[in-house]
Amino acid sequence: MAHDPGHIELHDPETDPLATYVLEPDDVRPLLSRVVSSAEAGTFTSHAPFTGGPIAAIPLSTPDDVARAAKAARAAQRLWAARPLRERTAVLSRVHDLVLERQSDVLDLIQVESGKARASAFEEVCDIALVARHYAARAGRYLAPRRVPGLIPGLTTTRVLRHPVGVVGIIAPWNFPLTLTLGDVLPALVAGNAVILRPDPQTALTSLWAAELLEVAGLPDGLLQVVVGDGPTVGAAVVENVDHVSFTGSTRTGRVVAAHAGEQLVPATLELGGKNPMYVADDVDVEVAAEGAVRACFVGAGQVCVSIERIYVHEDVADAFTAAFVRRTKALRLGSGLDYRSDIGSLTSAAQLATVVEHVEDAVGHGATLLSGGVHRSDVGPWFYEPTILTDVPDEARLVREETFGPVVAISRVASDDEAVAAMNDSDLGLNASIWTADTRRGAALAERVRVGTVNVNEGYVATWGSVGAPQGGVGASGIGSRHGREGLWATTRVQTVAVQHGVHGVLGGPGVGLHRMFDLGAETWPRVYTEVLRTLKALRLP
């Protein structure tokens, strides 16, 4: 019987200063037992960003463990793919209900492992509910055979079928431990695949909780295999043992994954880095735009692939917008409580803090002006950093081109819509963008000119991300392919074309009128005949 994910007791350091978020072995043992691991691989000790203290010792996997997981997954997948689609969608429907019902437990885990504020963690719960409901309702339509025009109208019937690829490998990051694991697992499973999931070791407990939730929802044994380890060894082994790989992470690592997948002739979906821009037009309500900018820039302490790092403001409203934005940013509450009292949580690691500090200090050293933040708040926790706004950042500063992935944003003035679009497109990264204007037609027209995968008009990132029926992905150095929508589901399928030629055998033993009869006309005659057929088809406007 599946272990039922129950409540994991956690002590809140705001009420218990000695708490370090160490989890009791009995609480996490059922979760850790789901990792396909070997004793010789050892363990990884994850640390709580809120306190720096240890959370749990996570079993690690070896490349041989990955191969073993793939073998078990393939055996389970054949039976799963043969099941009626309604049975697969029923699992997703139950996931929707369960993740909402048990959100308190997973919110605690997300916060403890990633350091984000509870409101940011709740976004992940909402996302999984949306994704589960969408694919439960739409998978049948997305996977249905599609009829297309045949070679000879009336005689050729052609259909396009979609089959599961087999085993899908998902290599997930630490910043969205529920969304970027379970959110990619669900469409792969409903398409009839098995999954090998490699979560980041820092946030493995959240992913393991999700795996157990799937089991409670009725997912058969063996279909979801979880392995834990670093990218160069365990991540590479995942690529070598699957039929499609989905990777979310940095552009640098994404290039490595893409190259390795290419060597294996394995298709890959890659969502990579972003240096996401926002434009604030001259007709906005500056208070509304400033409120939206605060959410878009600082949710998750800026550790969101689609969060905003560059803001371009029309010069006519630049002073008013900047004042409102700075005022609202300074009012944000930093904290580590397992409740909704804090607006901003911690960065997830010392390494991420180091990058943020380096980018800010480099920008200031090159002459940038600090308007807010720029302070490492070690008094709150070891890796807290104040939401930071800079202006007058020169082109030579690292902050201009490199993804910071932290609570830091640079503001620049522009004189026109055209200048704003040119500045937004001045990057090799093209993941997400935001445009704020009172004229939604103007906003939609500008959006089409921005070279990114998603554009939000009068929102930061939630409108596009939450529209789970639409594809979500990047262009340029921000990735290949998409998650969400039919495109995300189709990525985990292979297509097959089946064309049936009618009339070959005739009626009552007659000679038939199939395509082969045309070739019987002889090598010189049949091309002339078919030339007239092609002309007739065009005249009839047949596709």
Residues 311, 314, 315, 317: what is their CA dihedral angle, to the nearest 10 degrees?
-90
Residue 314 CA to residue 280 CA, distance in Å, equals 6
Q: By three-state DSSP, how is residue 164 classified?
A: strand
Residue 502, Cβ density class (10 Å: 0-12 exposed, 13-18 middle, ≥19 buried): middle
Residue 517 CA to residue 540 CA, distance in Å, equals 23
Q: What is the DSSP string of 442-470?
A: HHHHHHTTS-SSEEEESSSSHHHHH-TTS
Under 8 Å between Cβ of 390 and 408:
yes
Q: What is the DSSP string of 303-347?
A: --TT-EEEEEEETTTHHHHHHHHHHHHHTPPB---SSSS-SB---
What is the amino acid identity at position 230? D
What is the amino acid identity at position 275? K
Under 8 Å between Cβ of 443 and 457:
yes
Under 8 Å between Cβ of 462 and 486:
no
Residue 132 CA to residue 94 CA, distance in Å, equals 9
Q: Confirm whether 305 is a catalytic residue.
A: yes
Q: What are phi and psi of 106, to 5 degrees?
A: -75, -30
- Determine which one of 113, 212, 297, 305 is catalytic: 305
Residue length, the chain? Answer: 543
Residues 52, 58, 64, 69: what is their CA dihedral angle, to the nearest 10 degrees?
-120
246 has which bridge partners?
170, 269
Alpha helices in 160-310 (DSSP H): 179-190, 204-216, 236-240, 251-264, 286-298
Sign of the four-CA dihedral 307, 310, 315, 318: positive
Looking at the chain, the number of H-run helices and the number of E-run strands are 19, 20
Which of 465, 449, 446, 466 is CA-nearest to residue 457? 446
Residue 61 CA to residue 230 CA, distance in Å, equals 9
436 has which bridge partners?
280
401 has which bridge partners?
none
Active-site residue set: 271, 305
